[in-house]
Amino acid sequence: MVAASLTGKAVGQSVKRVDGVAKVTGRARYAGDFDLPGMIFGRALRNPHPSARIVSIDVRRAKALPGVHAVLTGADVPDALYGRMCKDIPILAKGVARFVGEKVAAVAADTAEIAEAALELIDIVYEALPAVFSAEDAMRPTAPIIHPEAVEVFPGAAAGIHGELSMYPAIPNVISRLTVGHGDAARALASAHKIFEHRFAVPSVHQGYIEPHTCLVAIAADGLVDVWMANKGPHIARAHMAAAIGVPEDRIRFNPVVIGGDFGGKGSLMDLLLCYCLARAAGRPVKMAMNSFEELTAGNPRHSAGIRLRTGVDRDAKLLGIEARVIFNAGAYAGFVPVPTLHGGYSELAGTYRVPNCAIEVLRVYTNTVPCGHMRSPGAPQVAFAVESHIDMIARELGLDPVEMRRRNAIADGDLTPLGETRRHLRCRDVIDAGARAFGWEKPRPAGTGRGISIYEHPPGNFGPSTVTLTMNADGRITTTVGAPDTGTGFHTIAAQLVAEHFGFSVDQVDVVQGDTLSTGFEFGSSGQRLTTTIGQAIAAAAEAMKESLAALAAERLNCAPSDIEMREGSFSAPGATIDLPALMGWAAARGKAPLSCQGRNKPGPTDRTGFVAHFAEVTVDRETGQVRLQRVVTAHDVGTIVNPIMHQGQIEGGLIQAVGQAMSERIVLKDGAVITAHLGDYKLPTIADIPELETVLLPGGGGAAPFSTTAIGEMSNVAVSAAITNAVFDAVGARLIELPITAEKVLQGLSEKASAP
């Protein structure tokens, strides 16, 4: 394939979003906006115990309530367990309920209010069972076993995983154990000038999307199952649904909907299988929508984590070796995660540093708490907080400037990553220096003010299939059909710009359509910073095929060989003749030769490029109250070709704001296994009043495996910010925070411990 040259007519322009008008005028249709004739509403009854045996369920009064069309318990739904990797989730709890909020019964009724009333009429007798809430306690020999039965794991669990992976090893309640590294970490630490060991804790947080999980299921007379669902990967969701309910994939159609925010949390089936069972039992279309209480108490939030790091350095403060143990609390079920372990829990550990010897152990562990799923950069914010705090603590104890510590150890071309991989164009030092200059790191600090730094790296994703169909219509417009929804990132706009750039068009000449799962080729969906790369590859392949078809058509019209055709800015020329695209397509349409359609696919594979970011934070701290105020953040990014500058900046700022929430206010608080931050008055998402001055520094010249040297930005700005802020707090008042979020109470405790230290 001949690489297309970049003209900049479409790529590099801050064009308006293709979905913008529909969203601001209310015409955009989310899953909850679809209604069908005869549609009824489903609601689920949820278990109040962290662990309990279901002794009996009496649904007679619920069934007798007028307006109720179906009442289901575990005995009424298929026995099949489902999950994205580990198949351990029941449609409704059968025999045992494993966390507060687990679904134990369901009702479908004429209105949601009637369904709620019916739930209150269901009588359930429980027998409380022993429960365990922390991952460390769950691994003890005396801990209750949460899943005593064998759990089926999808084949190929270890595909793409570095190191030694063990699924369900002989450790109580452990789902997966991964050991990975290179060199000889034990020997390196034994020979180190100094060794530093620290522990860190990061709580669970929610993705914070505005639209809750919603689904609508209709079963036609011929058995075709229609689904409208807030899910970022419809083709994958269809495959999981088909396997669970025993219906062929080609008899299930996921229809396109607009997604009201994802941040990694809308990849699971959530209520879909239960909604299907209700629709089948009632013989009517059924809609189910979670409310914010259910989202916060029974959704699939980010994993909490406990992290221990042990690092040895030489006399020049160079890193010799790192030993790490990362323990993720997975909650009561593992099936909300599509992989055996969290990628960021090992691949990003110290990935910005030259670490010649590294040994990492990562565990995911069952507990009787809310099942956890994916959230933007799964596993990485937890690990980055620990690593970047740890590096800062080492620098401080050695009397070394934190920026200099990072410059001295920054990974560079020729260095191996902590996984023993080799990458090119490693601009870690450049990013640190650019950020430090813009931030003014060397300037004097006012009293009570502190400054902190953190760094991070992550390669663009180039995994999983992407398929695009380009259709040149009779009027010369191009329709771009994709199989993935735009989760709010602006992906459909990026697709339009890439197509327009290949043909030298205005973006206004390109329409982007999300097809259903029966009319589009397989699309893996948004995940791991992949779509700009993979869709870019698929669009390039389809565009090349389309140009060849257009050249053949023009040659026929101009009575010459296709090799004589020259295409330029919407016209086709041969010696002595020229025709523009609308005229050519009109001629073709009159002869039944238009529209033209060409399909393109990506070429998944490893990438030897990566991207770097450096965050700099400035805070003020009140020593009397412990109150921390974030005053300023500067973030420096290593970037490739930017497709849409305003949306690119939006991704950076949105990620930063999300990171500020995780750093300073957000936390899912549990009491005896139950979430007590159960509404948005208690669960503190940041508002604009919490956001400081933000400044972005861009270092162009990077690139990856995508046409036009575009690369990823989606998971770069939200990962390492927490450590920059806590490092700034230490710089201001000497209080070291090793657990998130930052609170005045923790700062005061740190100050007290500092004052009482010998």
Question: What's the token pair of residue 157?
Answer: 């669990």
Q: Please provide the average confidence, as pLDDT, over all residues in the chain.
A: 95
The whole-number average pLDDT for the span 641-667 is 96
The predicted pLDDT at position 2 comes to 38
Is the predicted pLDDT of residue 158 greater than 80, yes or no?
A: no
For 383-408, write each residue's pLDDT tens digit. Answer: 999 999 999 999 999 999 999 999 99
* Cα–Cα dist 123/207, whole Å: 33
In the DSSP assignment, the letter for residue 422 is B
Nearest to 388 by CA among 341, 355, 429, 351: 351
CA within 13 Å, CB half, 469:
18
> Between the CA of residue 98 and those of 75, 130, 147, 151, 633, what are the distances in Å?
17, 10, 9, 15, 42
Q: What percent of the chain has pLDDT over 90?
A: 87
| pLDDT digits 0-9 by tens, 536-549 | 999 999 999 999 99
Model confidence pLDDT, tens digit, residues 595-642: 999 999 999 988 888 899 999 999 999 999 999 999 999 999 999 999
Give residue-wise pLDDT tens across range 271-316: 999 999 999 999 999 999 999 999 999 999 999 999 999 999 999 9
Give tens-digit pLDDT for 139-150.
999 999 999 999
DSSP letter string, 149-174: S--EE-TTTTTT--SEEEES-SSTTE
C-alpha triplet 392, 396, 401: angle, nearest 5°: 80
How far apart CA 685 and CA 682 sit, in angstroms, is 9
* pLDDT per position as a tens digit, 556-569: 999 999 999 998 87
Confidence of residue 1 (pLDDT cuts 50, 70, 90): very low
Region 221-227: what's the mean pLDDT?
Answer: 97
pLDDT tens digits, one per residue of 714-739: 999 999 999 999 999 999 999 999 99
Closest CA to 692 of 720, 734, 664, 666: 664
Note the pTM of the prediction, 2 decimals.
Answer: 0.96
The answer on pLDDT for 61 being more than 80 is yes
Cα–Cα distance between 350 and 384 in angstroms, integer?
8
pLDDT of residue 351: 86
Ramachandran region, residue 434 (left: φ > 0; alpha: ψ -120 to 50; beta: rest): alpha
378 and 204 in contact (C-beta within 8 Å)? no
> Are 365 and 341 within 8 A, CB to CB?
no
Q: Residue 582: how many CB atoms within 10 A of its CB?
A: 14
175's CB contacts (< 8 A; 6+ apart) are 86, 167, 168, 330, 334, 340, 363, 364, 365, 366
pLDDT of 690 above 80:
yes
> What's the alpha-carbon Rg for the chain, to the nearest Å?
27
Report which of 673, 676, 52 is spatially closest to residue 368, judged by C-alpha positions: 673
With 0-12 CB in 10 A as exposed, 13-18 as middle and 19+ as buried, what is 672? exposed
- 62 pLDDT band, cuts 50/70/90, is very high
Integer CA distances (angstroms), 291 to 30, 117, 259, in order? 15, 16, 16
| Two tokens, residue 290 | 């979670």
Domains of the chain: 34-129+210-261+266-298 (3.90.1170.50), 304-460+607-756 (3.30.365.10), 463-601 (3.30.365.10)
